[in-house]
Chains A and B, each alone.
Chain A
Amino acid sequence: MTAAQPLTFHARVGEKVRDRRLQQALQKARPLFVGKRARAVAALAEDQLDFEGLRDAGEEIRNRVLADLDVWLDIFEERARATGAEVLWARDGREICEQVIDVARRHGVAKATKSKSMLSEEADLNAALAAAGIRPVETDLGEYIVQLAGEAPSHIIAPAVHKSIDQVEALFAREHGRPEQPRSSADIPAMTAEARAVLREHFLSAEMGITGANFLIAESGSAALVTNEGNGRMVTTLPKVHVVITGIEKIVPTLEDFATLMRLLPRSATGQTISNYVSLLTGTRREGDGEGPTKTVFILVDNGRAALLGSPWQDMLRCIRCGACMNHCPVYFSLGGHAYGWVYPGPMGSVLTPLLTGLENALELPRASTGCNQCGSVCPVRIPLPKLMHRLREEQVKRGLRPRRERLMIGAWAWLAGRPKLYRWLAARAARYLRWLAGDHATIRVFGLAPAWTEGRDLPVGPGRTFHELYAARKRA
C-alpha cells in the first residue's frame, strides 16, 4: 500500500460506522488501551517519578537528534559497520524493496520471517517479495492475522485490533486446515498456541528475518527492538540473514537516552512498565555465539522524512510510534485504522499520511479532527498533533487545494462578520427563520442548510431573537 486507497475518506467513513463487528471490536479495545496507560502513569507517580518530567526529557532527546540528524546518522553508520553490519540507504519504498530483494538473492533466500516493521508497510514489501518469489511470513500474532486476511494493519501496535475473535477463528481454520469451532475470549491462549506451532516451522526454515527497529542507538550501532511476543527474538536470531528496515529519524544518541525513552514507550503504548522483550541487536554473530545471523543489514529509509526537517512539521519526526494518540482519539475509535487509507492511522497518521504521500492525496485527514487534543495531551514526546494538522489545513488553503465553494462561503461569512450592522440584521433574520422552522418544537429535526447535522441529531433553537436584539431592546426600555 504505497498510495492512499482510491476511495475517499468520506466514502470509507460510512462503511466503517455501519460495520457492527468493527464497532464492537473497537468499543472493547478502547477502555483497555486508555485504562492501562492511565494506571501505568499513575503508578509512576506512586514511585515518585514524574511522567511530565519524563515527557520533557523524551522531547528533548528527540529534538537533540533532529537538530543534527546527519551527524547522528554518520556516527551510527560508522559504529554499525564496525560491528560487522552492512548499512544501506533507501530513498523510498521502491528502493527498500529492491535492496531487500537484492540481499535475499545474494543469500539464496526463499522464505523471510518478519516481525513488525511499519516501513515495510510503507514500501508494500510483502507484495514485492512475493512477486520476486520470496515468501514473507508475518510472525507477530496480529500481523499474522492481518496477513492471512489479506489486509493491512489497522493500528501501529495492535495490527488486528479491528478483528473479532470469530473472524480470527475463521482465518485460522482456513489457513491451518481444520474445521471452524465456536470461540470465546477464553480460547485466546489456545488459538495463540496454534499460531505459534505453525510459525515455529517458519522460524526454523526461513533464511532471512526482517524487522523494524524501535530505535537505532548511535553510540553502539545497535538496533533496539521492543516487543511483547517472542517472535522478534526468533526472527532476529534464527535465520542466517537479518535485515532491519527503519526510518532515518529513529536514531537516539546514547544507551542512556534509549533508557529514558523506554520509560515512556511501553507505558504510553500498552501501559506496561516494560515490554516483555527488549532486544539490543549489535552486529553479526561473533565467535563463540550460539546463535545469531551471520549477515546483518540495516536499511535506513528517508521516504519523505528528510524534507520535514526544518519544515513547520519537523516536530512529527519526534514520534516514537507508541500509538497513544490513536488510543485516545475519538475519531480513530469511531472508524478503526483502515479508514485512514494508508499505513498510519489516528492523529499521527492524519499528519504523516499527507506529508509522506502528498497533501493532495489526503485532503480530508487533517480536517477529520475535532481539535480535542486528547492526542497531544498523551503523546510521550509532546508532539502538538492538532497544531500540525492545523498547519496542514493552512497549507491546503495556501496551495489552492480547497474547493472554491468552501472558500467562498468562509470568505463571505468572514466579510460579513467584519460588518457588525449587516451581520446583526442577518443574524436576526436567521434567528427568526430557525424559530419558524422548528414550529412548536424546541428543535429542528431536518435542516436543509446543514443536513449532515440533522442526520444524526436535532438542532435545538432559540427564541427567535438574537442576544443583541434582545439586549438593545432591554437597554431602550
Chain B
Amino acid sequence: MRVALYVTCLVDLMRPSVGFAALRLLEAADCEVVVPAGQTCCGQPAWSAGERAAAAALAKKAVAELEGFAAVVVPSGSCAEHMRKVWPELLADDAHWAERGRIVAERCHELSSFLVDVLKFTEPPADFAGSVTYHDSCKGLRGLGIKKQPRELLAKVPGLRFDEMSECEECCGFGGAFAVEFGEISTQIVDRKCESIAAVGADAVVGGDLGCLLNIEGRLRRRGDSRTRVLHIAEVLAGGSGE
C-alpha cells in the first residue's frame, strides 16, 4: 500500500526520531512510504485558538497535498483526531472542499490503529529489555477509540513487560497552548500523572502523542526522575530506541 507519512510539526521540530521510527515500522509492514514534501501542520493549534479561517486554510493545504494517497499515517492521536474529525467539519460549508476533505479525512489514521486495524500488522521488528507502561492520550482514546491497539503491539515486543499504571486514561495536562497559557494548572495535572508513573515503577512510559510525552518527560525530569524513559510508541516498536 502506498501511504503518506505525516510526521506532525512537533515531531519535525522536537523529536525527528519518532518520524524515522514510524517510517521504519510502515516499511516493515510492507508499505510504500512517501513523505509529502510540503507538509507543515494540520492546523490544530489555530483551530484550538478559535481561529477558524486560519484552521480551514491549513486544512485545505493539507487535503490538497494528501489527496493522492490510499492512506495517510500520523504518529499522533491528537493530530489524527483533528484530521479525521475536525477537517470535515471545517470544510463542510465549502462546496469545493467538502467532499475532498471528507475523503482525505477518512483515509487519515493514527499510527498504532493503522498498523493493527487496517494492516493487521502485529509483528513489530523491535525488542525491548524492561518494563513499560502506557499513557492513553485524550484525543486518541476518547476521540478515536484507540486503547487496545498500542497494547496489542507492545505485547508482541520480545523482552518487553507491560505494567498498567493507575489512571492511565487521565489527561496529562498538556492540551497544546493550554500548557503555556495555564502553566500552573498544567503542572498540577501532570504531577498526578507523574505520581501514577512513579507508583508503577516501569522503566519507560510510552505514549502515542509527542505533546503529552514532552509534558510528562519535562515534569519527570524537573521532579528529579532521570531514570524513567519517556518514549513514543513508534520508537519502541521500530527498535533502535535503546542505546
A residues lining the B interface (CB < 8 Å): 10, 13-14, 17, 330-331, 334-335, 367-374, 376-377, 390, 393-397, 402, 406-407, 410-411, 413-414, 416-418, 420, 423, 427, 430-431, 434, 442-443, 445, 450, 452-463, 465-468, 470-471
Contact = CB atoms under 8 A, between A and B. Distances in A.
A371 B49 CA distance: 12
A433 to B, nearest CB: 11
A443 B224 CA distance: 12
B218 interface: yes
Contacts of A330: 170-171, 173, 189, 192
Nearest to A396: B50
DSSP majority for the A interface?
helix
Contact of A457 (B35, B37, B48, B190): B190
Nearest to A393: B50
Interface string B41-59: 1010111111110110110
Contacts of A423: 40
Contacts of B46: 410, 413-414
Contacts of B215: 457
A402 B214 CA distance: 28
Contacts of A450: 180
Contact of A414 (B12, B43, B173, B181): B43
Interface string B1-21: 000000101011111110110
A394 B38 CA distance: 28
Contact of A397 (B20, B37, B49, B181): B49
A420 B43 contact: no
B240 interface: no
B174 interface: yes
A457 B219 CA distance: 4
Contact of B175 (A369, A458, A461): A369
Nearest to B170: A330
Interface in B141-196: 142-143, 170-171, 173-176, 178-190, 192
Contacts of B185: 13, 17, 331, 334-335, 368
Contacts of B143: 373
A370 B174 contact: yes
Contact of B45 (A370, A413, A471): A413
Given A331-B189, A334-B188, A372 B49 contact: no
Nearest to A459: B218
A17 B189 CA distance: 11
B122 interface: no
B57 A418 contact: yes
Contact of A462 (B13, B37, B189): B13
Contacts of B187: 17, 455-457
Contacts of B9: 417, 427
B135 to A, nearest CB: 12
Interface in B49-97: 49-52, 54-55, 57-58, 61
Given A370-B173, A418-B57, A453 B180 contact: yes
B54 A461 contact: no
Nearest to A329: B171
26 contacts: A330-B192, A331-B182, A331-B185, A334-B189, A368-B185, A371-B139, A371-B176, A390-B47, A393-B50, A397-B49, A402-B50, A407-B51, A434-B13, A443-B218, A452-B182, A454-B218, A457-B190, A457-B215, A458-B218, A458-B222, A460-B217, A467-B7, A467-B16, A467-B19, A470-B20, A471-B20
Given A373-B142, A453-B183, A460 B51 contact: no
B183 A455 contact: yes
A373 B140 CA distance: 11
B138 A393 contact: no
B228 interface: no
Interface of B: 7, 9, 11-17, 19-20, 35, 37-41, 43, 45-52, 54-55, 57-58, 61, 138-139, 142-143, 170-171, 173-176, 178-190, 192, 214-215, 217-219, 221-222, 230
B43 A463 contact: no
Given A370-B138, A456-B222, A457-B219, A414 B57 contact: yes
A414 B218 contact: no
Contacts, number: 190
Contacts of A369: 175, 178
A457 to B, nearest CB: 3
Contact of A460 (B40, B173, B178, B221): B221
A470 B174 CA distance: 27
B16 A368 contact: no
Nearest to A23: B188
Contacts of A471: 16, 19-20, 35
Contacts of A17: 184-185, 187-188
A390 B221 CA distance: 32
Contacts of B61: 417-418
Contact of B50 (A394, A418, A466): A394
A405 to B, nearest CB: 12
A456 B220 CA distance: 10
Given A13-B184, A455-B187, A457-B218, A414 B51 contact: yes
Interface centre among B46, B171, B174 (most CB of A within 10 A): B171
A420 B6 CA distance: 14
B16 A374 contact: no
Contacts of A455: 183-184, 187
Contacts of A414: 43, 46, 51, 54-55, 57-58
Given A410-B54, A420-B40, A372 B138 contact: yes
A418 B170 contact: no
B238 to A, nearest CB: 14
Given A13-B182, A456-B186, A471-B19, A393 B218 contact: no
4 residue pairs, one from A and one from B, having the closest CB atoms: A370-B175, A456-B187, A452-B183, A393-B50
Contacts of B171: 330, 370, 372, 374
Nearest to B185: A334
Nearest to A452: B183
Given A417-B40, A467-B7, A410 B189 contact: no
Contacts of A463: 16-17
A411 B51 contact: yes
Contacts of A456: 183-184, 186-187, 190, 219, 222
